[in-house]
Amino acid sequence: MSKLVTIYGGSGFVGRYIARRMAKAGWRVRVAVRRPNEAIFVKPYGVVGQVEPVLSNIRDDASVAQAMMGADAVVNCVGILARSGKNTFDAVQDEGATRIARVAQAQGITQMVHVSAIGTDAESDSDYARTKALGEAGVLKYMPEAVILRPSIVFGPEGQFFNRFASMSRLGPILPVVGADTKFQPVYVDDVAKAAEKALVEGVAPGIYELGGPEVRDFRALMATMLEVIRRRRLVLNIPFFAANMMAYGFAAINTLSLGIVPAQITPDQVRNLRKNNVVGADARGFDALEIQPVAMEAILPDYLWRFRPSGQYDAIKESAKNLRT
């Protein structure tokens, strides 16, 4: 019988790509999510019965254990950018990740891939970065042979990063950003999935791998690249951090007063994260150690950002028509 992998958060942005790759590799895939009825789309990733969404809540031991039962390997892709109800940074990124590793050890599972993030720091003033670091420590405590992947900003068709700002660019001549000089190393989502697949299928040295794309650019330059792809001219306006903090606390207050109905456009914790560069460390193991050549942004962005062009899918046709002789 083919091997079985349980992927926690397997219907999320990164998780779905790992699930698809593992199915293509011939593994049975169990996608562990809180709402399996909303993850039915993963089933066609394999043949009938090969990929199955199951109910699991990483805040509960029994739920985690049930989803993992009989698995040969486990992947944790669960993470949050802002707290929501009981899903706090500590509950999800620290305690949840540690719980998955502890249960995996108890069940005798020897392979684990944990998706973390560049910039983890147990001493950080950012709850996101702090709990990511604590989660990594918890994983290594119980699964010392685990492979931990730390990607920079991840982009792809379902990702929020470029889609969000491309959508904002349609609202007016100014595109506001926080931390315009902060550097990032955007990585294509399927390259992250390829790293996870390689760790599980081929086996790689355990430890931490920092994953970044071929180029390092600051936030302003990333927006310029995006605007070029969607063929819009906008002024990229940097919002100073002190102003961004005031805005973030204002959004947080509105979110609280509306009982969560009105989402916060940016949080104080995100502002703290935007103060620091998000690039692969000079001495870190990365794609080279995994023998993977990451894909450049320019090769992927046009494939899904075309819908934000002034004329959408007809934009290229209109440009071509201008060259016709009258």
* Average of per-residue pLDDT across 144-171: 96
**Mean pLDDT score of the chain:** 93
Q: Quick check: 141 pLDDT over 60? A: yes
Residue 258: per-residue pLDDT: 82
The alpha-helical segments, DSSP class H, found in the chain are 13-24, 61-68, 89, 97-106, 127-142, 161-168, 189-197, 219-230, 241-257, 268-273, 287-290, 301-305, 315-321
Query: Distance (Å, rounded) from C-alpha 322 to C-alpha 326?
Result: 9
pLDDT tens for each residue of 5-21: 999 999 999 999 999 99
Beta carbons within 8 Å of 257's beta carbon, 6+ residues apart:
none
Collapsing DSSP to helix, strand or coil, 144 comes out as coil
- 221: tokens are 């330059």
Per-residue confidence band for 325, with pLDDT thresholds at 50, 70 and 90: low
Phi, psi of 223 (to 5 degrees): -65, -35
Q: Quick check: 326 pLDDT over 60? A: no
Residue 1: per-residue pLDDT: 65
Q: Quick check: 94 pLDDT over 80? A: yes
* Average of per-residue pLDDT across 304-315: 88
Query: Distance (Å, rounded) from C-alpha 99 to C-alpha 202?
Result: 26
Collapsing DSSP to helix, strand or coil, 88 comes out as coil
Per-residue confidence band for 264, with pLDDT thresholds at 50, 70 and 90: confident
Q: Homologous superfamily of 4-155+187-212+279-294 in CATH?
A: NAD(P)-binding Rossmann-like Domain (3.40.50.720)
pLDDT tens for each residue of 284-305: 999 999 999 999 999 999 999 9
pLDDT tens for each residue of 33-62: 999 999 999 999 999 999 999 999 999 999
Produce one character per residue of 273-289: b if its CB has 16 or more CB atoms within 10 Å, e if not: bbebbbbbeeeebbbee
Overall pTM surpassing 0.85 (yes/no): yes
Query: Distance (Å, rounded) from C-alpha 304 to C-alpha 247?
Result: 30
Whole-angstrom CA distances from 109 to 52, 63, 71, 142, 200 are: 20, 17, 7, 11, 12
DSSP 298: G
Residue 87: per-residue pLDDT: 87
Residue 4: per-residue pLDDT: 97
Q: Please report how many Cα atoms fall inside a 13 Å half-sphere around the Cα of residue 28, on the Cβ side.
A: 14
Q: Quick check: 97 pLDDT over 80? A: yes
Query: Distance (Å, rounded) from C-alpha 238 to C-alpha 140?
Result: 39
Per-residue confidence band for 112, with pLDDT thresholds at 50, 70 and 90: very high
Please give the residue that has the higher pLDDT: either 178 or 314: 178
Q: CA Rg, the chain, in Å? A: 21
Residue 312: per-residue pLDDT: 81
Please give the residue that has the higher pLDDT: either 81 or 193: 193
